[in-house]
Structure 1
Amino acid sequence: MLPRVEVVARPLKNSFISETDPKTPRQPLPASDGADYLKTVPGFTAILSGGTNGDPVLRGMFGSRLNLLANGAPTQGACPARMDSPSSYVAPESYDKVTVIKGPQTVLYGPGASAGTVLFEREAPRFDTAGAHVDASVMGGTNGRNDENLELTAGNPDVYARVNANKSHAQDYRDGNGQSVPSAWDKWNTDIALGVTPDADTRIELDAGTGNGHARYAGRGMDGVRFKRDSVALRFEKQHLGSVIRKIEAQVYYNAFEHRMDNYTLRATPSGSMAMASDVRRRTAGGRVAATLDSGDNLQWIVGFDAQTNWLDSRSAMGLQSPSALSWTPSAQMTNYGLFSEVTWDASETQRVVAGLRLDRAAATDERATVSASMMSMAQPNPTANATRTRTLPSGFIRYEQTARTMPLTWYAGIGHTERFPDYWELFSPTRGPANSANAFAGIEPEKTTQFDVGAHYRNDAIDAWISAYAGYVEDFILFNYGTGTQSNVSQASNVNAQIMGGELGATWRAGAGWKLGMSAAYAWGRNANSGEPLPQIPPLDVRLNADYTWRAWSVGALWRIVAPQRRYTLHEGNVVGQDFGPSAGFGVVSLHAQYDLDKRTQFSIGVDNLFNKAYSEHLNLAGNAGFGYSGGVAIMEPGRTIWGRLRFRM
């Protein structure tokens, strides 16, 4: 039978790693982008500004503290305000697997990643004989929501081809008070892969993809009217090369993300305001090569190299002139070269030690000729024009894992240290840098995170329970401070020291006779060690309780999400996207779902999210924009009652 509706992501053997199937129906309603999907994984929240294209937050950590790779290539946006967040270019259902690694507990997937790593992956198809597979779904719901997804794969033992295509559309939603919230979107993606498999141990694959869309943002002064993506990648994989080399894998890729924002295409320009539009573009070229080596029966060693170069450009137009008629102006160039090595030692049948080291050489060049002291001020000469910053940054971790001999229990404890070069948004988006610095580019220092992680996972025929916890210290944590009054258009980035801790837990109990009960909880805490104030933009305690009943081809279930009030905040501090406006109220939302398997190939799911039409807002949320009639400091309300249905067919 096809899988049931999933409401709580379960971990693998280790509770700091979770793996999910994004094609499995989930509640709330199927996700429109990567952040929307990750919100269902314990420990994740998202900073929202409308109906789609939110920014994922793991354990209260945001931005490049979270590495996001789509099919092996790092995904990053171009907008200085992250209007096109990296996850906005990800269509979850077009991937086969989503893996989340929490904490600095791997060095294999790029620099930084102090909070964790997210891998959206497509698995290579294998054909013993000539054939074809289809996986298609269609979903419709309240507020004009409709999604269509298609995956078509065909091949034989020597070659294969795969096409992934999807489209997602929604109109403005209504909150629990019946008020319309500007949030409509329309987006599409198409990806094609051609592969050659001359033998069972060899694969060469060429990928190409494109996509585009637009989105209204209740929480921003402009909307996104273009989210254009073009990508190409070439992969090579060879296994079983001898008694020592288990596998060699290599990849080269090129991505181009072009984003346009304006204040007139998807909204009426407010009286007294000038129409304006801006284009931003990021082009990324890079590659990775890694070898997996075996040394005896109990030692595995992965060693490799990765590199990427990013070019960022912009162009702007006032009035109704299209920016397309203007030439691109370079903004920045950023590069990173990394060496990594990770060793797994099976000390015994029940004990394992995993350790890794990474060394990165990061560089950034400021190519802006002029800068502005605030959003409303005139441009002035850039004091760091054509300046280049470089830094060599080490990272590493060591983790001990053990399986109990007398019970189905696995536990781990690890410590990791990672040094993260400031990202594009931290170097170039703030209007000011630390005191006594020319700007953020000149003054912001790399973050240095040292974190201890511990957890356990218990699993038998009836119970699947897990817990993970962490405590860390971040030296030179990058913090944004926003002005008030006449300085409300000014943002300043600075370095502080920070303490962080928290954890997640979950359990599923198969109560018998078709019943399954589950729960999960996530809590994050942060403190500015310099001032003693709370770290901003930290989500409150989030608990999910669910019950499911299965009878033959039917299953029904309920989800109750309970979020505590957040009283730990610091006014007007945050990150490049959001800031704290004050405390937030707690809330509880009940949702229902049902599913019927028409046959072994066809599955119908239906759900009601926010059953009681609760009026509520998340703590991590932008305030509504005055251009849509919102008063300052009022958070955007979440959708009210939402009804959806989804039909999936596989062959």
Structure 2
Amino acid sequence: MGKYTPLALALSATLLQAHADTLLTIDVEAEPLPGESQLTVDGITTQSTTDAGALLRELPGATATRRGGKGFEPIIRGQQQNQLNVLSDGGYLFSACPGRMDPPTTYTTLAGYDTVTVIRGNRSVIYGGGGSGGTILLERTRPSFSEPAMQGTLTGGYTGNSDLKDFSADITAGNADGYLRLFGKYTSMDNYDDGSGNTVSSGYDSKGGGAVAGYQLTESTWAEVSLESVREEDIYYAGNGMDSPEANNDSWRLKLEQELESGFFESTELQLYGSDVEHRMDNFTVRDRNPSGMMGMLTDSTSDTRGGRLLGYASWGTSDITLGIDYLDNRRNAERYMVNKNSGAWMANALMWPDVRQQQTGLFVEADTALNTHNSLRTGLRIDHVNAEARAAHQTFGSNTPVDLYQTHYGTRDDSADETNLGAVVSWTHRYDKDSQLELAFSRSVRTADATERFIAAPGMSGNPDWVGNPDLKPEKHHQVEVTWQETMGMGQWSTTVFYNRVDDYINRYTDTGAILYDNVDARLYGLEGQLTSPLTEQWILTADIAWTRGRNHSDDRNLSQIAPLSGQLALDWQNGVWKAGVRWQLATNQNDIDENSGLDAGETAGYGVVHLHGSWQAHPSLLLSAGVENLLDKTYALHVNAASVDPFNPDAIRVNEPGRQVWVKAKWQF
């Protein structure tokens, strides 16, 4: 297992397996899968990131939209939201804001997790249906104690420009029979200035924490339970016409593992999980967006998720087999009110999510087979049954009824849908020799419409457009092919990947007759990724990566929205004993391939080049001090992908500038 330096190197480092202890610890499996990267949370010391979504921006082929200081929406190969499977400690969590102020990664207390694994593309059937763009796994590692002991990490950091203060603790005590882990985090951030000195609304206060307990019930049975809570307040959003005075999440996990001495299965695993998310957004509590008006607007929304899966593991000949069943039940409700700011009286306005319930049950099997010393094969198959219904679609809330909006814009009063979806993966890996490897992968994945795309019912206000889901949407069918070549050159390595994705019934957002609507189109996504890792000397290492994705709506002969331009990173890192330092050059070309009809792209984007510096000193075996400068040259720039604001007071897509120059420092004590 090797360890490498810059966060920009994350994907490249999955290819390199022999180097020592540098700034960012990146664990590499002995047989890393193409298209898979794993970061250790404990090793994030080359930047100031405190948001799990923002962390993914450093990986080739991945990026994230910015709304402010919170709510980074991950994007992998041009796909986002429910096109990605995001699992925290084995369970799903879905956002409670119809406008996606709170993607699932927002509610992750990073201090309580150990690894972040990013799988680009559809490489496995075991993580749920869909996942056409990729899978993000936030995971905890089970500690092992041979005798009673305690271990932990205390971290504190500060970032200028935004006055960001971040403190976290992660402490575990245990013995040979089990363990108890307690973790917590507090973050406070003010608004930051961009490179031109303009203030960008981005402040928030966030605290989160939880506990994990594991116990060896018998020699062959292990049980684990975890609880996690996040409380966030006064969240400013530059990319939205509303702010969020509060957002809360409570989640739990239960795991049982059983080793078997006889029968087909060698072991089984049961995972159960749940999460309850509450979100409020308005335009007058955090900031009064309409100070001259008497009326304000407020939306209260919830997203409650329950689920689980049962897995069986077996070996048959040269195959390792996983067989399983999973179940997912998500319920969302969003109620919009007009509020008299003087009297505080609430007046019902709209059921944006009319008590939407979506249930999905899946059966799957996957096998990894060693054909011979040079060839291996992965095959997987899954079938999912999906039922979605808007149980309050016929209810009048204020003066609005959801099915009336469906009738007006689509000519239907449907309030439910049933689907049976088939997914599959086949990948072949050929090792030409110890230094060269080729992988060819095929997959089919089916992604059902989410609560917003199918059932959102938000009538426009003050001349702004209606925002209405389509109850008759078909699920997206993704058919992908991917070719990866990777080569070792002494201590260095390089790899390149080409992918092509034909999408039948792509769920397309568009504007028409003063409304934001959804339909199905045929689309294509394709692109390439390349990575290079080259140790120059024992102390210097050079890394580079590049990614390009193109997306086309073939039905309407238009570009797909929210596709990042050609981008890459070049990093040079140095280490000498307890001292380490590095520089990273982040690059992107201009993006002219946009979809003006979607309401999601804020226009064409200029290219940019931004320089970041970082360094650290191992002052004591238990104490690491690190510091850095982000956006060294104080450039004014914004990523092309942006967070379109869909609310009654600001329906236009907005691009949020990145922070200008900011200096950060961190201290980490381990015991």
Report the Cα distance in structure 2 between the residues aligned to 1:439 and 1:621, rounded to whole angstroms.
21
- 1:416-472 Cα distance to aligned partner (Å, 9 max, x none): 00111111121123769xxxxx96342211100100011122235520222222101
> Superposition pairs for residues 202-241 of structure 1, below 5 Å?
202-214=221-233, 215-239=235-259, 241=261
Give, in whole Å, the separation in 1 of the partners of 2:414 and 2:455: 13
Among 385, 392, 414, the residue aligned to 1:361: 385
Q: Structure 2: any 5+ residue segments left out of the alignment?
A: 15-27, 407-412, 460-466
1:78 to 90, 96, 106: 96
Q: 1:413 to 1:278 in 2, by over 3 A?
A: same
One-letter code aligned to 2:417: R
Which residue does the alignment assign to 2:56? 38
Q: How do 1:234-383 and structure 2 match up within 5 A?
A: 234-239=254-259, 241-242=261-262, 244-273=264-293, 274-296=295-317, 298-317=318-337, 318-320=339-341, 321=344, 331-369=355-393, 379-380=400-401, 382-383=403-404
* Equivalence map 1:567-578=2 (5 Å): 567-573=592-598
2:481 maps to which of 452, 467, 484: 452
Q: In 2 relative to 1, CA 246–468 (structure 1 residues): closer, same or farther, beyond 3 Å?
A: farther
Specify whether residues 322 and 613 from structure 1 end up closer, same or farther in structure 2 by C-alpha distance, changes over 3 A only: farther
Structure 2 residue 28 is matched with structure 1 residue 20? no
Of the candidates 541, 546, 550, which is equivalent to residue 566 of structure 2?
A: 541
Aligned partners of 1:313 and 1:49: how far apart in 2?
A: 23
The aligned counterpart of 2:18 is: none
444-453 or 87-96, larger mean C-alpha shift: 87-96
Letter of the 2:201 partner, please give it. P
CA distance in 2, matches of 1:65, 1:634: 22
Contact 2:445 2:477 in 1 (8 A): yes
Q: CA deviation at 1:379?
A: 1.7
User: Any idea what the Cα deviations from partners look like across 1:155-194, whole Å, max 9, x if unmatched?
Assistant: 1111210112111211000000001111101111111111
Distance 1:464 1:619 in 2: 30
Return the TM-score normalized by structure 1.
0.91
Say if 1:364 and 1:323 are closer, same or farther in 2 by CA, change over 3 A. farther
From the superposition, tell whether residues 623 and 99 of structure 1 become closer, same or farther in structure 2 (CA, over 3 Å): closer
3-state DSSP of counterpart to 1:275: strand
- Does the residue aligned with 1:87 lie in a helix, a strand or coil? helix
Tell me: CA distance 1:238–1:461, structure 2 relative to 1, closer, same or farther (3 Å).
farther
Q: What secondary structure is seen at the aligned counterpart in 2 of 1:496?
A: strand
Q: Which secondary structure state, in structure 2, belongs to the residue aligned with residue 259 of structure 1? A: strand
> Which amino acid is 1:346 matched to?
A
Q: Does 1:67 align with 2:57?
A: no
Q: Distance in 1 between matches of 2:431 and 2:57?
A: 30
Counterparts of 1:362 and 1:620 in 2: how far apart (Å)?
30
State the 1:481 CA deviation: 1.1
1:400 to 2:425 alignment = no
CA distance in 1, matches of 2:301, 2:89: 24
Please say if residues 237 and 247 of structure 1, whose CA atoms lie closer than 8 Å, have aligned partners that are also in contact. yes
The whole-number CA distance in structure 1 between the counterparts of 2:396 and 2:529 is 42
CA distance, structure 1, for counterparts of residue 134 and residue 174 of structure 2:
36
Equivalent position to 2:69, from 51, 56, 80: 51
Q: 1:308, 1:625 → 2: CA distance?
A: 28
Q: How does 1:77-226 map to 2 (within 5 A)?
A: 77-142=95-160, 143-198=162-217, 201-214=220-233, 215-226=235-246
Q: Deviations over 1:537-589 (max 9, x none)?
A: 11001110000111111011100001000011121316xxxx11321100000
Superposed CA offset, 1:275-317 (max 9, x none): 2222100111111110110113x11110000001112223344
The alpha carbon displacement at 1:482 in A equals 3.1
Classify the secondary structure of the residue corresponding to 2:82: helix
In the TM superposition, what is the alpha-carbon distance from 1:3 to its structure 2 partner? 7.0
Equivalent residue letter for 2:33: N
Within 1, Cα distance between the matches of 2:239 and 2:375? 50
Structure 1 residue matching 2:127: 3-state secondary structure = coil
In structure 1, C-alpha distance between the alignment counterparts of 2:345 and 2:33, rounded to whole Å: 52
Contact in 2 for aligned 1:139/1:147 (Cα 8 Å): yes
| 3-state SS, counterpart of residue 8 of structure 1 | helix
Distance change in 2, residues 1:631/1:206 (3 Å): closer
Q: What's the % identity of the aligned pairs?
A: 27
Among 632, 635, 646, which residue is 1:614 paired with? 635
Query: What is the CA RMSD across the aligned residues, in angstroms?
Result: 2.8
Distance in 2, matches of 1:627 and 1:323, equals 17
Q: Which residue of 2 aligns with 1:479?
A: 508
Amino acid at match of 2:302: R
Q: TM-score, normalised by structure 2?
A: 0.89
1:464 to 490, 493, 500: 493
Question: Residues 356-392 of structure 1: CA distance to partner in whole angstroms, max 9, x if unpaired?
Answer: 000000011112346999xxx9524525778321111
Structure 2 SS opposite 1:382: helix
Q: 1:533 to 1:381 in 2, by over 3 A?
A: closer
Structure 1 portions without partners, runs of 5+:
433-437
1:338-361 Cα offsets, whole Å, 9 max, x none, are 001001110012210001000000
State whether residues 241 and 289 of structure 2, in contact with CA within 8 Å, keep that contact through their aligned partners in structure 1: no
Q: Is the 8 A contact 1:248 1:291 kept in 2?
A: yes
CA distance in structure 1 between the partners assigned to 2:396 and 2:598 by the alignment: 21
Q: Distance in 2 between matches of 1:559 and 1:106?
A: 33
What is the deviation of 1:631?
12
Is the contact between residue 35 and residue 88 of structure 1 (CA under 8 Å) also seen in structure 2?
yes
| Change in 2 beyond 3 A, CA 1:390/1:191 | same
CA deviation map 1:568-626 (0-9, x unaligned): 1121316xxxx113211000000101111112222111010000000111111246899
Q: Does the 8 Å contact 1:5/1:595 carry over to 2?
A: no
- The answer on whether the counterparts of 1:7 and 1:27 sit within 8 Å (CA) in structure 2 is no
Change in CA separation of 1:247 and 1:586 when aligned onto 2, cut-off 3 Å: same
Deviations 1:115-148 (A, max 9, x none): 1111000011121111111122111111211111
* Preserved CA contact (<8 Å) 1:430 1:492: no
What SS does structure 2 have at the residue aligned with 1:464?
A: strand
Query: Against the structure 1 CA distance between its residues 624 and 475, is the aligned structure 2 distance closer, same or farther, given a 3 Å change threshold?
Result: closer
> Quick one: structure 1 residues 26 and 454, their matched pair in 2 at CA, closer, same or farther if it must change by over 3 Å?
farther
Query: Does structure 1 retain, via aligned residues, the 8 Å contact 2:470–2:518?
Result: no
**Alignment deviations for residues 15-45 of structure 1 (CA, whole Å, 9 cap, x no partner):** 2111111221254422x32211111121111
Q: Which residue of 2 aligns with 1:428?
A: 455
